[in-house]
Amino acid sequence: MELLRCAAQICCGESPAQPKPGVLGSTAAPVPSVAPPSQVTLTGRRKSLLVGINYFGTQNELHGCVSDVQRMLPLLDQLGFPSNAESRRVMVDTPDWPQQLHPTLANMRQGIAWLTQDAQPGDSLLFHYSGHGGRMPRTDGRSEFHETLCPVDMDAAGMLLDSELFETLVRPLPSGCRLTCILDSCHSGGVLDLPFIFVGTQENLASALAGEAAQMAMSKNWLQDWQAWKDSDDPAMLLSDVASMGMDLWGLWGKYNETRGANEQGFRTDEAENAGIAVGEVVAFTGCASEQTSADVGDVGSQFQPPVQRWGGVAQGHDVEASCEGTWR
């Protein structure tokens, strides 16, 4: 909810509250220090494109993606994003949905072109994607892999590459136009080829990870493990929890190391070649880092019971991705 609240504030041109540390990504080189961007009032049009793909009847079937889109609609209504056909386009792969709005490769390309068409300073755009994400070898020498979005007809038509998404979704935006992306898929951290990624500073991340380590320690029943060893001369339970704790701490150490090279605002370079090319304001909230996968939790409603609606900023040239681990695809 904190992530969605932050995304909502950015969509509306508000200054979001300072996020909690611990938002992670993966990049290589440090970026120069930049002043925090000034927030501008977005008084232009508001347009949204939402894509949810369950891949019904295939071996790749997911169960929560169409529901993700359904649950976004009331939030967009609250934020003042119009629901008319000129301002909102919803693409899902349910059998009864109009074929021209099924999320095929061709329709997704058309939808992205529609979203960015005639974009003006002061406009607020939103792109939400929930579905499979992939990786494929990259041959242009910039990095090892392309990160991709997977249309419903990906086996026949192919996938949407990060380089194409940068050219068609990010680069066309004029200065003063804001695009907020919420990308819930595997490998989504790099799927827009944005030049910078937010990883947090080592100081505030260390504080957050210390709290997480304490929670890990308290989640183990050390007294029960010790008693089992004492009563049966079998240390298996204790050793199992020790090994689990060690793996978790190793993961935290990896997270901490990912902040090395970040500037004082917590940013690192991701796609240096794209720095300064795009002049619009683009922020992407992603399900995981480029090299990570995430899992489908299935029936979200039975676990969290969120409301469901049934069918009826960053400084100019300083685009950024914020990536959160532990989400759903």
Q: Tell me how far apart the 2 most distant CA atoms of the chain are, in Å.
A: 74
Q: Are 23 and 199 in contact, with CB atoms under 8 Å apart?
A: yes
Cβ neighbours for 280, distance < 8 A, ≥ 6 positions apart: 119, 170, 172, 173, 174, 175, 176, 177, 178, 179, 319
Nearest to 103 by CA among 66, 142, 77, 136: 66
Best CA proximity match to 168, nearest among 212, 116, 133:
116
What's the CA gap between 42 and 11, in Å, rounded?
9
Active site residue 6: no
Residues 272, 53: Cα–Cα separation, whole Å: 31
Q: Does residue 146 have an active-site annotation?
A: no
d(CA 101, CA 51): 9
Instruction: Write the Ramachandran bin of 79: left for phi over 0, alpha for psi from -120 to 50, otherwise beta.
Output: alpha
Q: How many CB atoms lie within 10 A of CB 305?
A: 8
Can you read off the two tokens belonging to residue 53? 């793909």
Q: Pick the catalytic residue: 181, 186, 288, 324?
A: 186
Which phi and psi angles does 270 have, rounded to 5°? -115, -65
Q: Distance between CA atoms of 64 and 297, rounded to whole angstroms?
A: 7
Among the listed residues 65, 102, 128, 132, the single catalytic one is 132
Question: What six digits make up the tokens of 161?
Answer: 């590459």
- Gyration radius from the chain CA atoms: 21
Catalytic residue set: 132, 186
